[in-house]
Amino acid sequence: MMNNDQLISRYVSGLKMVSWVYAMIQMMVVFSQLLIPTASTDLGKFGFPTLFLTSSLLNAAIALNTRIENYRPLLFLSLLLIILTNIGVAILTNLDNDPLLVESNVGRIVDYQFAPGIMFIVVSVLYLRLTISAFLSALFVTSIVIQQYMALSIDGVFFSSNLPVVFSDGLAINLDWFVLNCLFVVFTVIVVTVTSWQFDKVTNQASNFERANQVLGRYFSPEVKDEIENSRFSDITEVEKSSLVGVLFTDINGFTKMTETMDPKDVVRLVSEYQSKMVAAIFSSGGTVDKFIGDAVMATFGTPTSRGNDAQNAFECARKMQISMNQWSKERAEKKLPQITHRIGIHFGPCIIGNIGGDQRVEFTVLGDTVNVANRLCDACKKFDSQVIISDAVAKRLSEEIKSDFEANFSIPGRTEKIGIHKLQL
């Protein structure tokens, strides 16, 4: 089943590849027919090169124009072109040859009837789809069986292993060569089927990897994503580990009141625009988007691996977020739209990092008291009318002096131990 663009893009490559192969083979036939004509009549001398040239050009056109959006119709056209080309060859062959001469030499003709079918069965592997290879294999095996049945139905045709008889009698079919051809067809079908199955498997695995790679790009900054890929996902697939992490929460001020009269589509557009600005700041600071919670954003710094200055990165992220919000406010003011402000809370401390969930759904996230404290600090911005609140644990790890309103014993609801906090206006 083609259930995503990554998988279809793999199939597109297969269709392009097989179309180019068909185009080149058919063009070689055109040149061979022009240089060394094998047809007996003027119709054949004109018809065969014209048929193969037309088919070659159409295959080249398919190869050049195949895209994800038009894959299905062009795949159908490619298969139809194969069938029509073979029908055209059969018709021209009958018109080009004397029926009596064919019947009197059917023993020799049988030897060559296996080759085209075997060639098309082999080339079908390049579609990179088991179903297509199976379809073409069944089609050409059926064609070979019909051709042999028609040949064997001619009066006087017989099998012989005696070479002098085979070479002297046009109705004698070389039994050894006939059996070998039949076995070769069976062997080809088996190999093509197994190979196509393997290609299908590899294609799906590659598609899943590409999809996973895209998912990484949505949650991790490019630098972090590269680190994960280079480590072959060893960090992110680890069950769980404890590490020091910077956790940042943002939340739009007055979001519920602001949106209660807005159209749902406008609300979605507003939240999406806000979140895209926040994600840009997070990624540019080497952070990870942990989750979106309504209009809120949770980001972590130091996951899945520490970058050595995670607290500083989290603070830099807050600064970039404020710059982005100020620019957005100017843009909205010019459009006479309501101003948007938000609050930010940052804490730094130990967290459990890993894949949380069950068999049905797994989420890579962080857990622990540090997450709860960062969320509470974000909420506390409303109480202190502050843009940003960071814990003293963050401030002590900064490589710069900050101007802040310090409170030494801030009480976190539901938490016994008090902490120092810094209230800032960035």
Backbone torsions φ then ψ of 175, nearest 5 degrees: -60, -45
pTM for the full model?
0.54
d(CA 363, CA 348): 21
Return the pLDDT at 215: 54
Q: Which residues of 385-404 are buried (b: 16+ CB within 10 A; e: fewer)?
A: ebbbbbbbbbbebbeeeeeb
Return the pLDDT at 61: 96
d(CA 218, CA 232): 18
HSE-up (13 A, CA, CB side) for residue 123: 22
pLDDT tens track of the chain, all 426 residues?
444 666 787 889 889 999 999 999 999 999 998 998 888 888 989 999 999 999 999 999 999 999 988 999 999 999 999 999 999 998 998 888 877 777 788 888 888 888 888 888 898 888 888 889 999 999 999 998 998 888 888 888 899 999 888 888 888 999 999 999 999 999 999 999 998 888 777 766 666 666 655 555 555 555 555 555 555 555 455 546 788 999 999 999 999 888 888 898 989 999 999 999 999 999 899 898 888 888 899 999 988 888 888 999 999 999 999 999 999 999 999 988 888 999 999 999 999 887 766 555 556 678 899 999 999 999 999 999 999 999 999 999 999 889 999 999 999 888 889 999 999 987
Domains in the chain, ordered, with CATH?
A: 5-216 (no CATH), 231-424 (3.30.70.1230)
Pair 371, 247: CB distance under 8 Å? yes
Return the pLDDT at 1: 41
Return the pLDDT at 285: 92
Return the pLDDT at 258: 87
d(CA 138, CA 117): 10
Return the pLDDT at 59: 95
Residue 390 identity:
I
Return the pLDDT at 425: 87
Return the pLDDT at 105: 84
pLDDT tens profile 212-225: 555 555 555 555 55
Neighbour count for residue 327 (Cβ, 10 Å): 11
Q: What is the CA 296 to chain-centroid distance, rounded?
A: 30
d(CA 257, CA 17): 57
Per DSSP, the residues of 253-275 read TTHHHHHTTS-HHHHHHHHHHHH
Return the pLDDT at 2: 40
